[in-house]
């Protein structure tokens, strides 16, 4: 049952789970799942211009490089979706105040706690006919556990969210949440409810956001040219991997300090593309990432010029990655939101829940047709135990049984031994 009619009755006491963000980049002909970009309030972003969306995009990029710097060690894969994690945290930020809001906004490189430009970015991303892109957001509220109308309204208007109601302590609703996430990532990300500990009787809100992208290379690889080729691992050893090849094709290319960049476009006009950054011989991936940030990446992209590439060899691969983001986000300066008793998220609940866990799961496949990638970011929010009284009746006690209307006590007693 939709809660869109129940917004005015939603109070603000809960512990919550936030799940945001799936991004799927696909190079196949699968049907597009439903998206919510059209539900983002047009009036809310009517006065915004393309520069506003671009500014938020740059903020997402800056945060993405910050986060990758915390996750990538140069020895193991680290695959992230900056838009996925940023949307999750932006939804949480919408309920923050005080130091919590300041830290979160700074970490996300956003101007404030409720930056409607995020909605403009999501609408702009989906405004294309060169690839298929949909945005979907949904909230599941526990039966009888409403929350702040103002927060709900903002999330609905800015992110196009729908609101549903169910028993979050039931496996049936957990299965429904899993099915929603799978549908909106074409089945690539699954068991997200399990990762978030659902079903859970203490959870009263689940928030999901999904972005789906379907595209094909502008210039496809011929499968007949795919063959095993050595790939050097970080320890210097070599393995053979299936490698795709193109010859004599023009791509955007640039040589930078310590690395080269090549852009592989998707679709007829190449609005979307994959930028591959390859360290120079003698330079390591760690060295390259250590000198790279959003500004330097933008400068590299801006310096791309069309050049004919004699031979392009790109591994064909399929990868999955999962990581917990609590410590990386703390190191980036977002510590108060994770601190029970200090986190100020009262716009979501007067009990000021704190962010408990943030988990990021990704999937990436690159083949001859294009790219498929999926990500789901999940976060749990809970009220601090410091704010919830503990009442253990483990010693002698007194009791009354009374009439509330008259105040009359019907029974009165003292218990020193409950066995007799």
Q: Which of 64, 27, 4, 13 is nearest to 369 (CA)?
A: 27
Q: Which of 309, 314, 313 is nearest to 248 (CA)?
A: 309
pLDDT of residue 74: 84
Question: 214 or 358: whose pLDDT is higher?
Answer: 358
Distance between CA atoms of residues 326 and 379, nearest Å: 9
Q: Which of 36, 121, 29 is nearest to 372 (CA)?
A: 29
Q: Which of 407, 418, 392, 361 is nearest to 78 (CA)?
A: 361
Residues with Cβ < 8 Å from 7, sequence gap 6 or more? 149, 152, 153, 163
pLDDT of residue 215: 72
- Across the chain, mean pLDDT equals 81
Going by pLDDT thresholds of 50, 70 and 90, the confidence category of residue 165 is confident
Q: Give the CATH number of domain 223-315.
A: 2.30.39.10
Distance between CA atoms of residues 365 and 131, nearest Å: 17
Q: Could you give the dihedral angle defined by the CA atoms of residues 60, 65, 71 and 76, in that order, rounded to the nearest 10 degrees?
A: 120
Q: Kindly give the pairing relationship between strand 317-324 and strand 354-366.
A: antiparallel
Spatial contact of 376 and 320, defined as CB atoms under 8 Å apart = no
Residue 163's DSSP bridge partners are 139
SS3 341: coil
Distance between CA atoms of residues 213 and 124, nearest Å: 13
And the tokens for 317?
């691969």
Give pLDDT tens digits for 174-228. Answer: 899 888 888 888 888 899 888 888 887 776 677 777 767 677 899 999 999 999 9
Distance between CA atoms of residues 116 and 159, nearest Å: 9
Distance between CA atoms of residues 174 and 198, nearest Å: 6
> How crowded is the C-beta side of 94, counted as CA atoms within 13 Å?
25
Distance between CA atoms of residues 194 and 192, nearest Å: 5
Distance between CA atoms of residues 18 and 192, nearest Å: 11
Spell out the domain ranges in the chain: 7-216+317-387, 223-315
Residues with Cβ < 8 Å from 247, sequence gap 6 or more? 310, 311, 312
Compute the average pLDDT of residues 340-361.
82
pLDDT of residue 329: 97
Instruction: Give the CA distances from residue 5 to residues 13, 39, 143, 397, in Å, rounded to whole numbers and listed in that order.
Output: 19, 16, 14, 46
Same fold, 7-216+317-387 and 223-315: no
Residue 59 pLDDT exceeds 90: yes
Residue 17's region, left for phi above 0, alpha for psi from -120 to 50, else beta, is beta
Residue 36 pLDDT exceeds 80: no
Instruction: Give the CA distances from residue 295 to residues 65, 72, 97, 292, 302, in Å, rounded to whole numbers and listed in that order.
Output: 10, 19, 29, 8, 11
Give pLDDT tens digits for 268-296. Answer: 888 888 899 999 988 899 999 999 899 99
Number of CB atoms found within 10 A of residue 248's CB: 9
Going by pLDDT thresholds of 50, 70 and 90, the confidence category of residue 63 is very high
DSSP-derived secondary structure letter, 217:
B
Distance between CA atoms of residues 56 and 290, nearest Å: 23
Quickly tell me which residue has 């029970």 as its tokens.
Answer: 340
Helix axes 50-71, 117-126, angle to 10 degrees: 90
Compute the average pLDDT of residues 354-377.
83
Distance between CA atoms of residues 200 and 166, nearest Å: 12
pLDDT of residue 385: 56
Distance between CA atoms of residues 375 and 308, nearest Å: 33
Compute the average pLDDT of residues 94-117.
94
What is the assigned CATH class of domain 7-216+317-387?
A: alpha beta
> How crowded is the C-beta side of 6, counted as CA atoms within 13 Å?
18
pLDDT of residue 400: 54
Residue 350 pLDDT exceeds 80: no
Distance between CA atoms of residues 80 and 358, nearest Å: 13
The number of residues making up the chain comes to: 420
Residue 85 pLDDT exceeds 70: yes
pLDDT of residue 68: 92
Distance between CA atoms of residues 1 and 172, nearest Å: 14
Going by pLDDT thresholds of 50, 70 and 90, the confidence category of residue 357 is confident
CA angle, residues 350, 351, 356, in degrees to nearest 5: 125
Distance between CA atoms of residues 413 and 264, nearest Å: 79
pLDDT of residue 362: 80
Give pLDDT tens digits for 377-406. Answer: 887 777 665 555 556 677 876 655 656 675
Compute the average pLDDT of residues 346-357.
78
Question: 332 or 83: whose pLDDT is higher?
Answer: 332
């Amino acid at each position: 049952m939709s809660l869109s009619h129940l917004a005015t009755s939603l109070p603000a006491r809960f512990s919550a789970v936030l799940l945001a963000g799936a991004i799927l980049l696909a190079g196949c002909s699968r049907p597009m799942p439903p998206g919510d970009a059209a539900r983002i309030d047009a009036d809310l972003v009517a006065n915004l211009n393309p520069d506003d969306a671009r500014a938020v995009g740059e903020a997402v990029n800056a945060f993405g490089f910050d986060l990758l710097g915390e996750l990538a060690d140069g020895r193991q894969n680290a695959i992230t979706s900056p838009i996925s994690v940023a949307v999750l945290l932006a939804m949480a930020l919408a309920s923050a105040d005080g130091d919590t809001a300041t830290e979160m906004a700074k970490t996300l490189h956003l101007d404030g706690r409720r930056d409607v430009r995020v909605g403009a970015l999501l609408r702009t991303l989906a405004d294309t006919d060169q690839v298929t892109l949909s945005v979907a957001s949904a909230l599941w509220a526990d039966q009888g556990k409403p929350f702040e109308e103002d927060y709900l309204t903002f999330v609905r208007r800015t992110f196009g969210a729908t609101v549903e109601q169910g028993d979050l302590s039931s496996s049936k609703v957990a299965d429904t949440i899993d099915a929603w996430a799978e549908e909106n990532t074409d089945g690539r990300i699954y068991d997200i409810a399990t990762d978030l500990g659902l079903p859970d009787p203490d959870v009263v809100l689940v928030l999901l956001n999904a972005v789906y992208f379907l595209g094909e290379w502008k210039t496809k690889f011929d499968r007949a040219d795919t063959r095993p080729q050595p790939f050097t691992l970080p320890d210097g050893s070599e393995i053979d991997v299936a490698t795709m090849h193109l010859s004599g094709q023009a791509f955007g290319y640039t040589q930078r300090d310590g690395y080269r960049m090549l852009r592989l476009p998707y679709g007829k006009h190449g609005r979307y593309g994959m930028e591959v950054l390859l360290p120079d011989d003698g330079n390591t991936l760690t060295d390259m990432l250590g000198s790279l940030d959003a500004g330097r990446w933008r400068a590299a992209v801006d310096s791309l010029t069309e050049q004919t590439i004699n031979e392009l060899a790109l591994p064909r691969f399929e990868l999955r990655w999962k990581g917990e983001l609590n410590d990386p986000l703390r190191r980036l300066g977002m510590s108060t939101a994770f601190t029970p008793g200090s986190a100020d998220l009262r716009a979501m609940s007067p009990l000021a829940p704190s962010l408990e866990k943030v988990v990021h799961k990704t999937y990436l496949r690159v083949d001859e047709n294009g790219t498929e990638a999926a990500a789901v970011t999940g976060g749990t929010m809970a009220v601090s135990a410091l704010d919830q009284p503990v009442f253990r009746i483990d010693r002698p006690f007194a009791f009354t049984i009374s009439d509330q209307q008259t105040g009359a006590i019907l029974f009165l007693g003292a218990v020193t031994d409950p066995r007799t």
